[in-house]
Amino acid sequence: MNNADIAQVFEELADLLELRGENAFRVRAYRTGAKAILELNRSVKEILADATTPLQSIAGIGDTLAQKCQTLIETGKLPQLEELRAQTPPVLIQMTRIPGLGAKKAMALQKELNLQSLEELRQACEQHKVRDMKGFGAKSEQQILDGLAIAEQASMRLRIDQAERLVFRLRGHLELCTAIKQLEFAGSYRRGKETVGDVDILVVSDSPTVVMDQLESFPGRLSTIARGDTKMSIRVEAQFQVDLRVVAAESFGAALQYFTGSKEHNVAIRSRARKMGMSVNEYGITNLDGSQPPMYGTTEQELYSKLGLSWIPPELREGRHEIEWAESGASIPDLITVEAILCDLHMHTTESDGSNTIGEMIAAARKRGLKYIAITDHSKRVSMARGLNEERLLKQWEEIDQINATLEGAFRVLKSVECDILEAGPLDIVDEVLAQADWVIASVHYGQKQSRDEITKRIVDALQNPNVDIVAHPTGRLLGTRPPYEVDMEAVIATAAQYSKALELNSSPYRLDLCEQHLIQASAAGVPIAINTDAHSIDGLEVIHYGVLQARRAGLLKSQVLNTWPLEQFLRWCDRG
């Protein structure tokens, strides 16, 4: 298990303990430990193996958590967590995902109304049973109804980072099985969707029974839904479904294409095949008139080639323009890749709410191969994050000038800030100071419940300010927990295009904001996109690949992404004049 996996275990432990009404200090200890582990600059496994640095010597990690870390590293699971999962009704966990509904109120509702599902909670609200309970009322009842859609979606799908961690564990477990000759993951996970509804696994093996036995022994398995000769479905943590199919080697490519989807892409593929006198399914390609033997798809490339198409990257398979792009062997557009990223233009340090210093962020960025970064600590309005006022900001920029002088051109740190757009409209830092920056991010953190017109005007006005270069996480959404605020994105995109400004694709898997639809609209309008991590620690720099996945799904080209531009080109763009 890596650090993120261990932190997730402790966060889940804290959630389940809180639901059981355990001591608040104990719950907080697990959350503190999870945060401390996420902020480590070494792996827990490495620290445990180093006798000179006890894990419990790190702030936030005591003897109990250190011992549990040891168990997780050695076994990949924690008996205490499995016991709590078995003792906690799944609906309780789902209810805590309703915005504003805490553990205590969720427990009260579940116990009083004997709820077994979110649908039963919805019915109770619609029948006005909730408002009559102690501690609730008509307003609380309506808030629960409004938040149920978010909770229902979150209970059915995993964020891409959660799915990635599950896939990592499943792959490691299945690769121990010597009967497996080929192994790939398909479905929406392979297409890089921001949330995943289930995990599809394709395997080539002469011993399907052995393979299914191996999956059934997966440590996270809760139950087996179905098991046949070559197909199997199980449920893992939080009732998430995993489907396994064992296929023939000569059909592996066809099956991978078919089960990767999407449905719209496969409909277009089948339609094209029919026009060419062929039929295509998960087993391969055949001629409709039977004049030739079946043409199986050993690889996806072979299948697409038989249909007169270039291979299509999975992220593009959404039934948009990918067939047109791939026709007659034409080149698929030069999609953005992680390797093309030269800079990160949104990150935080210990000057505001980050966990690492400027020097530590520089070292981590250089280790990742980046050529320049922007230090964008919060402005003073974000008081809970120790946001910088004008005086502190100028002092930080003086420090950055001194750092750049020592780097001698080998690397560049941009003097920047994440400047709040205040509720009343103006920016949080005066223009005289912003004019001295290399790069200015504007963002909305407060007043997110304002009307559509009010929020739109705030963002549009910020984009019109000559000192602002970009708007960060433009819709403010948090996947599974907070919907986007009301904003007219067409007006925002049009303003960004008119004033030659950029919009951010925030790579945090909790945000992935902009969504792919808005990215498509922005790129069509000629608005440059910056794919940033919004890192608050050196580990936070690692989320860049989620943003790249999102950008690829929208068909973004390397040239449309600011982060791929050499420093000189980027600075020329910033100095639009």
DSSP H stretches of helix in 24-133: 24-38, 44-49, 63-75, 79-87, 90-95, 103-113, 118-126
Number of domain units in the chain:
5
Amino acid 172: pLDDT: 93
Q: Name 138's bridge partners.
A: none
Question: Please, are residues 156 and 230 in contact by the beta-carbon 8 Å criterion?
Answer: no
Question: Please, are residues 499 and 464 in contact by the beta-carbon 8 Å criterion?
Answer: yes
Is there a single domain that holds both residue 373 and residue 469? yes
Amino acid 555: pLDDT: 94
Q: What amino acid occupies position 297? A: G
Amino acid 125: pLDDT: 92
- Flag whether 452 is in a domain: yes
From first to last of its 577 residues, the chain has per-residue pLDDT tens of 777 778 878 988 888 888 877 888 888 889 888 888 877 767 888 889 888 888 988 888 999 999 999 999 988 888 998 888 888 887 887 787 787 777 788 888 988 898 888 889 999 999 999 998 988 989 889 889 888 877 766 567 889 998 999 999 999 999 999 999 999 999 999 999 999 989 999 999 999 999 999 999 998 898 899 999 999 999 887 678 999 999 999 999 999 999 999 999 999 999 999 999 999 999 999 998 877 777 878 999 999 999 999 999 999 999 988 998 898 655 677 899 999 999 999 999 999 999 899 999 999 999 999 999 999 999 999 988 899 999 999 999 999 999 999 998 889 999 999 999 999 989 999 999 999 999 999 999 999 999 999 999 999 999 999 999 999 999 999 887 788 999 999 999 999 999 999 999 999 999 999 999 999 999 999 999 999 999 999 989 999 999 999 999 999 999 999 999 999 999 999 985 4
Structural domain of residue 224, as residue ranges? Answer: 159-247
- Flag whether 274 is in a domain: yes
Is there a single domain that holds both residue 423 and residue 300? no
Is there a single domain that holds both residue 304 and residue 378? no
Both tokens assigned to 396? 């930080």
Amino acid 577: pLDDT: 41
Amino acid 205: pLDDT: 98
Is there a single domain that holds both residue 369 and residue 320? no
- Flag whether 559 is in a domain: yes
Is there a single domain that holds both residue 119 and residue 262? no
Domain with 4 in it: what CATH number?
1.10.150.110
Q: 342-373 b/e with 16+ CB inside 10 Å = b? A: bbbbbbbbbbbebbbebebbbebbeeeebebb
Is there a single domain that holds both residue 241 and residue 261? no
Other Cβ atoms within 10 Å of 101 Cβ, number: 19
Helix, strand or coil for residue 528? coil
Q: 292-314 b/e with 16+ CB inside 10 Å = b? A: eeebbbbebebbbebbebbebbb
| Residue 169 CB contacts under 8 Å (≥ 6 apart), including other chains | 1, 5, 76, 218, 219, 220
Is there a single domain that holds both residue 322 and residue 179? no
Is there a single domain that holds both residue 367 and residue 234? no
Task: Tell me the Cα Rg of the chain.
Answer: 26
Is there a single domain that holds both residue 274 and residue 391? no
Task: Among 88, 114, 146, give the residue marking a domain's end.
Answer: 88
Both tokens assigned to 125? 């609200």
Q: What amino acid occupies position 565? A: W
Other Cβ atoms within 10 Å of 481 Cβ, number: 14
Angle between helices 24-38 and 3-19 (to 10 degrees): 170
- Flag whether 98 is in a domain: no
In whole angstroms, give the CA distance from residue 479 to residue 512: 8
Ranges of beta strands (E only) in 298-406 are 343-344, 372-375
> Considering only CA atoms, which of 412, 420, 417 is closest in space to residue 435?
417
Four-CA torsion 383, 386, 387, 389, nearest 10 degrees: 100
Task: Among 113, 135, 156, give the residue marking a domain's end.
Answer: 156
Is there a single domain that holds both residue 48 and residue 79? yes
Q: What amino acid occupies position 351? A: E
Task: Among 198, 231, 247, give the residue marking a domain's end.
Answer: 247
Is there a single domain that holds both residue 468 and residue 345? yes
Question: Please, are residues 77 and 220 in contact by the beta-carbon 8 Å criterion?
Answer: yes
Report residue 388: phi and psi, to 5°.
-85, 135
| Rounded (5°) CA angle 215-221-225 | 80
- Flag whether 150 is in a domain: yes
DSSP type of residue 395: H
Is there a single domain that holds both residue 47 and residue 167? no
Q: Is the pTM of this model over 0.95?
A: no
In whole angstroms, give the CA distance from residue 142 to residue 532: 36
